[in-house]
């Protein structure tokens, strides 16, 4: 079993108002079977034993689906492996890259304020969903699920968009810290389905306006998000969202209100 | 939820759409401009006749100029406001950041854009307003390069015999190529002109157009310096219109 | 204490309808006056919060993750059952009910299970209407598969991400209500205690995980949907944050905890690879449809390249022992047999970890590949293969997978009646957090179904019924003495952890040790002596924990992940002890609970005479001396038979 010592430069920041800085640690006896986060767990246990503040980082499922983990590793959002979240990086692959030194940073974006160390606040993404990332269907009022067949290719494509885990790597990787891929994934998922048509125009308007209001940058078509996205969501969905938005504002001017729940 | 009435331009996507639309106008002009200039290869008479013809239609000329001014302003203003926004979306930069998808062209739009702008201004001063500005004197103080009011062909060819004209021209056109390489593809994306079946061709088209324009434009200084295009001794006479 | 199930009587297929028809309601204009707390935003909590918000209640919803979308329901892969009978293969509500009761080894309440089967179809309708992209056939209709050895194809799925898609559906409904102002969401907020006032659940104490602020939230009703307690084993397929704190604290405040020893060990997980392993990864059960499970017949072959081992030297132990079901035997049977071949027969092929038998068996796709072609197999399981390769470095197309059982689901939970109300009035419990529908063993693809049935349909209705009866609860404010006391108590608890006298190790150290004990003695197979041993070890370790746990930073009013973990581990200690006690008291084998003393030919032997009941434990003030109560179970529609998969 291969073992290695790895030098880590980790962003430490005690709270939102702290300026933050890198600190250097040595992770010893890192084995090829460990995951990247297990390496940090191990380091943290040692820090705790030494009475030092362990590195705070977000994680939960550790199987690439909850979207909680979030680190920029040596300049790559979620690390260098394609379609892989931070929690799914295994040291085997880090060894293969010959890395002895690793820089770990949080997602950096105005809309994702840092809470502590590598933990950022991503509630802005929830707010974008609140603006219309849903189909307004009252519980219990649905018709039979098989009443409206959906061609398989359309359903599959909708799935490709729906698979977004809301991790925010797209924002982290984007040179403009834009949330376009995240927003487009939801817009695209619902716009493709017959159920999503009724609110299609109001949805895209409201979600895009909210994305902008929250201080994310605008898309300038670099395509970095698509590469960083652990679910491989295509920037074609951004183009489709753009088209829908233009349509909603130019062709179908209609009502620019978000769907009103009349709470 | 009360959302204020949204206008297209309020959104970042709207701004990109404005950039795409104005970009199309500017691209169209650049193509037209090149195809006109290619007449130089047909000879001085043809070229000058074309220039004269343009000036006999002030409505078209001014219409086009107004459209261009409008497109330029919209393009630049939108670019500027997006740039400001995007800067503030990430004030703290990464210590390390690896780019996986973006390319030189995309990353330097905010560089190639201003270079282009300066070049266009230079180009206008040089060939469009040259007559007014330099009268019968030398152009930009370049010795031996004098303005011939009724001979645009010579104004062009003579110019490319001088490095101070060639260098900005080459730089400007390289910036144009780079700008268009990303800009054309980006335009499709921004207005949502995408379809799984054709998406792969969008890149190809961008490369083709960018290459065509850059190579086409750069051919003139090369042709002049290689002696393929030479000043003419013919005399022309047509009204000086602007 | 007498446990009243409050289940309706009469023909089973009418019970739910009748029950609804005769229950109390709250008029729309009165609903705004009632505050409802929902702890948890998974399928059960998210769906309940969204639905009650939509109905007009003032809902406060809590979760410990940074967004409700990340609840652990997100990780469910395989699918969700529903008695739609879209495949015309003879499925029906009754059959799903029957299968679930039988699958649970006759340890669940019939009325609840029937209602679950009945509601299953509406869940699919609801999800599709929300835009959940279930798999479809070329004709555009919904696709189904047979799951976990079921005789009918009733499982709906969305690639390997069914839980994610269903949760995102519920989450979108929830976000819609948040936008509408009817639900207020409290992410990164952990419930640390329950507030009971005049005999009713009236609020919770929470800790803001960013600022560390501890405060009380008051409501007319509290709903817990905080998921399962599988992480008591330290290693499980659950997310790292899954915990028992919410349910355990409610238990300590008077809610009975039922059948804690019923845990499900899933046979197809990636084996543990070393000491520092932090969690285990599930490989969907669907793999057993095409993969064959085997180990070498001779221990000396365990080190060889599996492909070089000839057919005759391979021990397809499931196929040989269970010819009728083969590789598709239920989860507990598959798991236990894998354990036997590794631990008793020493034929395991898992990673070598010092001081442990090699734990792991092959799951081989070579036959499926030669029969169906590589393309088809990869199309079916491609994403699982990728996941496996990422973790282990091996490609299952080239070399057999290695799998080993891991804790996956907990059938036990807070005791609830037919209305999902616990023994504390006004405290409702849904999803994996309650004990209700799966008896001693859960069928594949039915946890998602239960979570959503509870969340969309049962809880909103039951809460209405409760409030309709209660009308106006006695006034209670956040700054009343009860609440302040509760807050003080929580603070004291955390301080005790922070100020451990001989602080030495972080909480994970103790969690690992606890997990080892539970896994060893209260895992796939349990014995009287082992359990007694565990019952001695756990309190000792717990004492050591309180003495030596080290929390850094040593303050609570800040973001402090060590403190979060320490507080959860503290509760796992008490729960772990109760599990062992429950397992020891249940002198029979049933479902996921296998007692070595109670078996015939290696198969589980139930004792219906003595144990046809749910065991519900009452907190007595001493973690080692809880009081056991029983709810007798009656089976009118599905007659208990011995489960046999031979
Ligand atoms: C890997 C895996 C695969 C699975 N696959 C399937 C499958 O294919 N089919 C199937 O039917 N079932 C499957 N299951 C089981 C099923 O996913 C779960 O039983 C079910 O999703 C639980 O839903 P829930 O709503 O009860 O809880 P969860 O989804 O776990 O939600 C718990 C919620 O409670 C919150 N919470 C917990 N504690 C606290 C606290 N103290 N304070 C505040 N909030 C708290 C959490 O933040 C979360 O929001 C699988 C389980 C796992 C682990
Ligand atoms: S689009 Fe991709 S990168 Fe962005 S949030 Fe979704 S999964 Fe993450
Ligand atoms: S921890 Fe859930 S995706 Fe990484």
Beta bridge partners, C618, equal: C627
Contacts of A128 (CB under 8 A, 6+ apart): A179, A182, A183, A186, A207, A210, A211, A214
C282 within a domain of the structure (yes/no): yes
C321 within a domain of the structure (yes/no): yes
Range of the domain at A9: 3-105
Range of the domain at C598: 482-607
Ligand 1 neighbour C163 (Cβ under 6 A): yes
* pLDDT exceeds cutoff 90 at B147: no
Asked whether the beta carbons of residue A178 and residue B6 sit closer than 8 angstroms, the reply is no
Given A78, A105, A132, the domain boundary residue is A105
| Total number of domains constituting chain A | 2
A262 within a domain of the structure (yes/no): no
Interface with C, mutate which of A13, A32, A65, A185 (most C CBs under 10 A): A65
Which phi-psi region, left, alpha or beta, contains residue C90 (left: φ > 0; alpha: ψ -120 to 50)?
Answer: left
The number of angstroms, rounded, from the C-alpha of C315 to the middle of its chain's C-alpha atoms is: 32
Token pair, residue C427, equals: 């405290």
Give yes or no for A144 touching B (CB within 8 A): no
In ligand 2, the atom with minimum distance to the C-alpha of A232 is: 2
Tell me the pLDDT tens digit for each residue of B168-214: 999 999 999 999 999 999 999 999 988 878 888 889 999 999 999 99
Give the CATH number of the domain where residue A197 resides: 1.10.1060.10
pLDDT of residue C531: 98
Name the percent of chain B lying above pLDDT 70.
Answer: 95
C398 within a domain of the structure (yes/no): yes
> Across the interface, which of A66, A81, A123 has its CB nearest the CB of C74?
A66
C418 within a domain of the structure (yes/no): no
Tell me the pLDDT tens digit for each residue of C77-104: 889 999 999 999 999 999 999 999 999 9
Instruction: Specify the 3-state DSSP secondary structure of C515.
Output: helix
Report the predicted TM-score, pTM, of the whole model to 2 decimal places: 0.96
As a whole number of angstroms, the distance between CA A244 and CA A253 comes to: 12
Residues C510 and C382 in one domain: no
**Chain A residues inside the 8 Å CB shell of C240:** 59-62
Residue carrying structure tokens 């977000």: A58
Higher-pLDDT residue of B124, B237: B124
Mean pLDDT along residues C256-263? 98
Given C392, C407, C422, the domain boundary residue is C407
Instruction: Specify the 3-state DSSP secondary structure of A62.
Output: coil
Q: How far is B214 from chain A (nearest CA, A)?
A: 22
How remote is the CA of residue C18 from the centroid of ligand 3, in Å?
A: 44
Residues A126 and A97 in one domain: no
* pLDDT exceeds cutoff 50 at B241: no
As a whole number of angstroms, the distance between CA A60 and CA A63 comes to: 8
* pLDDT exceeds cutoff 60 at C627: yes
Residues A90 and A161 in one domain: no
Residues C292 and C401 in one domain: yes
pLDDT of residue B4: 45
C552 within a domain of the structure (yes/no): yes
A115 within a domain of the structure (yes/no): no
Residues A81 and A127 in one domain: no
Mean pLDDT along residues C175-186? 98
Ligand 3 neighbour A65 (Cβ under 6 A): yes
CA max distance for chain A: 65
In the sheet with A21-31, reading across from the earlier edge strand, the strands are: A21-31, A3-12, A101-105, A72-73, A76-77
Instruction: Specify the 3-state DSSP secondary structure of C526.
Output: strand
**Chain C residues inside the 8 Å CB shell of A54:** 506, 552, 561-562
Which residue, by CA, sits nearest to atom 26 of ligand 1? C431
pLDDT of residue B238: 66
Residues A21 and A141 in one domain: no
* pLDDT exceeds cutoff 80 at B83: yes
As a whole number of angstroms, the distance between CA C428 and CA C225 comes to: 9
Between the alpha carbon of residue B182 and those of residues A217, B186, B206, the distances in Å are 19, 6, 7
Given A79, A105, A131, the domain boundary residue is A105
pLDDT of residue B129: 81
As a whole number of angstroms, the distance between CA A178 and CA C29 comes to: 42
Pair type for strands A3-12 and A21-31: antiparallel
**Chain A residues inside the 8 Å CB shell of B194:** 236, 239-240, 243
C642 within a domain of the structure (yes/no): no
pLDDT band for C386, please (50, 70, 90 cuts): confident
The number of angstroms, rounded, from the C-alpha of B198 to the middle of its chain's C-alpha atoms is: 27
- Indicate the helix (H) or strand (E) that contains C413: strand C413-414
Between the alpha carbon of residue C423 and those of residues C414, C417, C470, the distances in Å are 9, 8, 16
As a whole number of angstroms, the distance between CA C99 and CA C117 comes to: 10
pLDDT of residue B239: 59
* pLDDT exceeds cutoff 90 at C318: yes
Given C365, C382, C407, the domain boundary residue is C407
As a whole number of angstroms, the distance between CA C486 and CA C201 comes to: 13
Residues C387 and C295 in one domain: yes
**Chain C residues inside the 8 Å CB shell of A70:** none
Q: How far is C43 from chain A (nearest CA, A)?
A: 14
Higher-pLDDT residue of C583, B147: C583
Residues A216 and A187 in one domain: yes
Residues C486 and C403 in one domain: no
Residues A139 and A59 in one domain: no
Residues A143 and A253 in one domain: yes
pLDDT of residue C316: 97
Would you state the torsion angle of the CA atoms of residues C534, C536, C540, C545, taken in this order, to the nearest 10 degrees?
A: 30
pLDDT band for B136, please (50, 70, 90 cuts): low
Tell me the pLDDT tens digit for each residue of C582-625: 999 999 999 999 999 999 988 889 999 999 999 999 999 999 99
Beta bridge partners, C283, equal: none
pLDDT of residue B5: 57
Q: What totals of helices (H) and strands (E) does chain C contain, helices first?
A: 19, 21
C355 within a domain of the structure (yes/no): yes
pLDDT of residue C382: 83
Q: Residue C408: phi, psi to the nearest 5? A: -140, -35
| Total number of domains constituting chain C | 2
* pLDDT exceeds cutoff 50 at C266: yes
Give the CATH number of the domain where residue C278 resides: 3.90.700.10
> Across the interface, which of A176, A224, A261 has its CB nearest the CB of B89?
A176
Residues with CB under 6 A from ligand 2: A 164-170, 181-182, 185, 228-231, 233
Question: Which amino acids of C are annotated catalytic?
Answer: 331
As a whole number of angstroms, the distance between CA C153 and CA C521 comes to: 36
Beta bridge partners, A27, equal: A6
pLDDT of residue C149: 74
Query: Is C323 buried (19+), middle (13-18) or exposed (0-12) by CB count in 10 A?
Result: exposed
A211 within a domain of the structure (yes/no): yes
A179 within a domain of the structure (yes/no): yes
**Chain A residues inside the 8 Å CB shell of B102:** 175, 222-224
As a whole number of angstroms, the distance between CA B16 and CA A178 comes to: 13
pLDDT of residue B240: 54
Between the alpha carbon of residue B68 and those of residues B8, B27, B71, the distances in Å are 21, 10, 5
As a whole number of angstroms, the distance between CA C134 and CA A159 comes to: 8
How remote is the CA of residue C213 from the centroid of ligand 1, in Å?
A: 26
pLDDT band for B242, please (50, 70, 90 cuts): very low
As a whole number of angstroms, the distance between CA A142 and CA A17 comes to: 48
Token pair, residue A12, equals: 């430490």
Given A74, A105, A136, the domain boundary residue is A105
Ligand 1 neighbour C448 (Cβ under 6 A): yes
Give yes or no for C141 touching A (CB within 8 A): yes
Q: Output the average pLDDT for chain C.
A: 96
Residues A38 and A126 in one domain: no
A194 within a domain of the structure (yes/no): yes
Tell me the pLDDT tens digit for each residue of C364-381: 999 999 999 999 998 888
Residues of chain A with pLDDT under 70: 251-263
A111 within a domain of the structure (yes/no): no
Domains by residue range for chain B, with CATH: 8-86+108-241 (1.20.1300)
Mutate to test the pocket of ligand 1, among C42, C49, C190, C286 (most ligand atoms within 8 A of CB): C42
Give the CATH number of the domain where residue A27 resides: 3.10.20.30
Residues A16 and A64 in one domain: yes
Asked whether the beta carbons of residue A175 and residue B86 sit closer than 8 angstroms, the reply is yes
Residues A23 and A56 in one domain: yes
Give yes or no for A84 touching B (CB within 8 A): no
A85 within a domain of the structure (yes/no): yes
Q: How far is B78 from chain A (nearest CA, A)?
A: 11
Higher-pLDDT residue of C132, C1: C132
pLDDT of residue A263: 36
Mean pLDDT along residues C466-479? 95
pLDDT of residue A261: 41
What DSSP line would sit under chain B, residue for residue? Answer: ---PPP-GGGSHHHHHHHHHHHHHHHHHHHHHHHHHHGGGGG-HHHHHHHHHHHHT-HHHHHHHHHHHHHHHHHHHHHHHHHHHHHHHH--SPPSS---SS--HHHHTHHHHHHHHHHHHHHHIIIIISHHHHHTTSBGGG-TT-B--TT-HHHHHHHHTTSHHHHHHHHHHHHHHHHHHHHHHHHHHHHHT---TTTHHHHHHHHHHHHHHHHHHHHHHHHHHHTTSS-------------
* pLDDT exceeds cutoff 70 at C626: yes
Ligand nearest to the CA of A122: 2
Interface with A, mutate which of B15, B78, B89 (most A CBs under 10 A): B89
pLDDT of residue A204: 96
A31 within a domain of the structure (yes/no): yes
How remote is the CA of residue C457 from the centroid of ligand 2, in Å?
A: 31
C635 within a domain of the structure (yes/no): no
Mean pLDDT along residues C530-536? 98
């Amino acid at each position: 079993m291969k073992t290695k010592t790895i030098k880590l430069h980790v962003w430490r920041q005690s709270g939102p108002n702290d300026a933050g800085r890198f600190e250097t640690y040595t992770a010893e006896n890192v084995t090829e079977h460990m995951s990247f986060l297990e390496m940090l767990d191990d380091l943290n246990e040692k820090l705790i034993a030494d009475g030092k503040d362990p590195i705070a980082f977000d994680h939960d499922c550790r199987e690439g689906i909850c979207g909680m983990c979030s680190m920029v590793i040596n300049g790559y959002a979620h690390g260098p492996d394609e379609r892989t979240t931070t929690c799914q990086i295994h040291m085997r692959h880090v060894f293969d890259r010959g890395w002895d030194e690793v820089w770990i940073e949080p997602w950096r974006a105005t809309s994702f304020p840092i809470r502590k160390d590598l933990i950022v606040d991503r509630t802005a993404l929830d707010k974008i969903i609140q603006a219309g990332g849903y189909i307004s269907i009252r519980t219990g009022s649905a018709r039979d699920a098989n009443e409206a067949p959906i061609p398989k290719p359309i359903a599959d494509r909708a799935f490709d968009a729906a698979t977004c885990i809301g991790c925010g790597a797209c924002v982290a990787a984007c040179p403009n810290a834009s949330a376009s891929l995240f927003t487009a994934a939801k817009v695209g998922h619902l716009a493709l389905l017959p159920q999503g048509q009724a609110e299609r125009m109001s949805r895209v308007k409201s979600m895009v306006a909210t994305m902008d209001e929250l201080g994310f940058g605008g898309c300038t078509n670099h395509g970095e998000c698509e590469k960083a996205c652990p679910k491989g969501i295509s920037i074609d969905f951004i183009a489709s969202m753009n088209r829908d938005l233009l349509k909603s504002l130019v062709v179908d001017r209609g009502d620019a209100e978000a769907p009103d729940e009349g709470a | 939820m009360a959302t204020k009435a949204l206008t297209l331009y309020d959104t970042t996507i709207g701004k990109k759409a404005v950039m795409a639309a104005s970009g199309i106008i500017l691209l169209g002009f650049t193509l037209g401009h090149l195809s006109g200039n290619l007449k130089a290869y047909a000879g001085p008479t043809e070229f000058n006749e074309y220039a004269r013809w343009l000036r006999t239609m002030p409505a078209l000329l001014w219409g086009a100029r107004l459209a261009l001014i409008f497109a330029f302003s919209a393009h630049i203003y939108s670019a500027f406001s997006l740039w400001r926004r995007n800067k503030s979306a990430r004030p703290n930069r990464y210590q390390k950041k690896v780019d996986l998808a973006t390319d030189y062209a995309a990353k330097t739009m905010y560089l190639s854009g201003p270079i282009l702008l300066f070049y266009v201004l230079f180009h206008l001063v040089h060939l469009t307003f040259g007559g007014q500005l330099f009268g019968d004197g030398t152009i930009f103080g370049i010795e031996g390069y004098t303005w011939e009011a009724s001979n645009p062909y010579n104004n062009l060819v003579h110019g490319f015999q001088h490095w101070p004209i060639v260098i900005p021209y080459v730089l400007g056109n390289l910036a144009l190529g780079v700008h268009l390489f990303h800009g054309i593809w980006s335009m499709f994306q921004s207005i949502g002109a995408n379809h799984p079946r054709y998406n792969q061709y969008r890149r190809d088209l961008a490369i083709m157009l960018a290459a065509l324009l850059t190579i086409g434009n750069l051919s003139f200084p090369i042709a002049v310096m290689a002696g393929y295009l030479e000043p003419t001794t013919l005399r022309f006479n047509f009204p000086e219109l602007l | 204490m007498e446990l009243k199930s409050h289940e309706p009587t009469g023909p089973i297929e009418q019970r739910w309808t009748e029950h609804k028809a005769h229950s109390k309601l709250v008029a729309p204009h009165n609903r705004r006056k009632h505050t409802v707390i929902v702890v948890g935003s998974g399928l059960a909590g998210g769906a309940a919060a969204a639905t009650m918000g939509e109905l007009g209640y003032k809902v406060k919803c809590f979760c410990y993750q940074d967004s409700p979308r990340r609840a652990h329901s997100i990780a469910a892969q395989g699918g969700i059952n529903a008695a739609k009978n879209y495949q015309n293969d003879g499925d029906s509500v009754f059959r799903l009910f029957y299968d679930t009761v039988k699958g649970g080894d006759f340890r669940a309440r019939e009325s609840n299970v029937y209602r679950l089967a009945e509601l299953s179809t509406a869940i699919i309708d609801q999800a599709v209407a929300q835009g959940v992209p279930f798999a479809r056939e070329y004709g555009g209709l919904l696709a189904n598969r047979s799951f976990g050895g079921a005789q009918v194809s009733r499982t709906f799925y969305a690639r390997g991400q069914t839980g994610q898609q269903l949760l995102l559906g519920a989450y979108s409904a929830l976000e819609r209500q948040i936008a509408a102002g009817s639900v207020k969401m409290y992410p990164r907020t952990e419930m640390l205690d329950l507030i009971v006032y005049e005999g009713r659940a009236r609020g919770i104490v929470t800790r803001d995980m960013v600022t560390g602020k501890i405060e009380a939230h008051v409501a007319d009703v509290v709903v817990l949907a905080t998921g399962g307690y599988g992480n008591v084993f330290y290693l499980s397929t659950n997310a790292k944050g899954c915990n028992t704190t919410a349910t355990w604290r409610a238990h300590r405040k008077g809610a009975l905890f039922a059948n804690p020893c019923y845990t499900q060990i899933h046979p197809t997980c990636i084996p543990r690879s070393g000491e520092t392993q932090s969690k285990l990864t599930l490989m969907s059960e669907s793999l057993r449809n095409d993969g064959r499970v085997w180990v070498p017949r001779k221990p000396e072959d365990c080190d060889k390249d599996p492909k070089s081992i000839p057919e005759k030297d391979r021990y397809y132990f499931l196929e040989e022992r269970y010819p009728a079901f083969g590789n598709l035997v239920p989860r507990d049977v598959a798991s236990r047999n894998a354990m036997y071949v590794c631990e008793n027969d020493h034929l395991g092929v898992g990673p070598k970890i010092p001081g442990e038998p090699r734990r792991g068996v092959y799951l081989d796709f070579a036959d499926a590949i030669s029969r169906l072609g590589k393309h088809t197999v990869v199309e079916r399981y491609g994403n699982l293969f990728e996941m496996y390769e990422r973790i282990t470095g091996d490609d299952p197309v080239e070399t057999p997978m290695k799998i080993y059982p891991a804790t996956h689901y907990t059938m036990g939970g807070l005791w609830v009646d037919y209305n999902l109300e616990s023994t504390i009035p006004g405290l409702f419990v849904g999803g994996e957090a309650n004990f209700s529908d799966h008896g001693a063993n859960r069928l594949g693809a039915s946890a998602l179904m239960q979570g959503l049935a509870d969340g969309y349909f049962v809880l909103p209705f039951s809460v209405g019924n409760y409030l309709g009866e209660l009308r106006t609860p006695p006034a209670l404010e956040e700054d009343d003495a009860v609440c302040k006391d509760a807050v003080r108590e929580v603070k004291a608890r955390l301080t005790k952890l922070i100020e451990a006298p001989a602080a030495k190790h972080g909480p994970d150290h103790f969690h690992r040790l606890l997990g080892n004990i539970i896994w060893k003695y209260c895992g796939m197979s349990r014995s009287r002596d082992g359990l007694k041993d565990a019952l001695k070890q756990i309190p000792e370790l717990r004492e050591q924990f309180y003495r030596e746990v080290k929390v850094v930073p040593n303050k609570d009013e800040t973001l402090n992940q060590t403190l979060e973990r320490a507080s959860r581990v503290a509760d796992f200690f008490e729960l772990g002890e109760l599990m062992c006690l429950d397992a020891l008291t249940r002198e029979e084998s049933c479902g996921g609970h296998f007692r070595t003393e109670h078996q015939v030919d290696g198969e589980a032997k139930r004792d219906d005479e003595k144990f046809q009941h749910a065991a519900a434990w009452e907190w007595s003030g001493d973690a080692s001396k809880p009081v056991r109560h029983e709810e007798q179970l009656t089976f009118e529609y599905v007659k208990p038979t011995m489960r046999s998969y031979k």
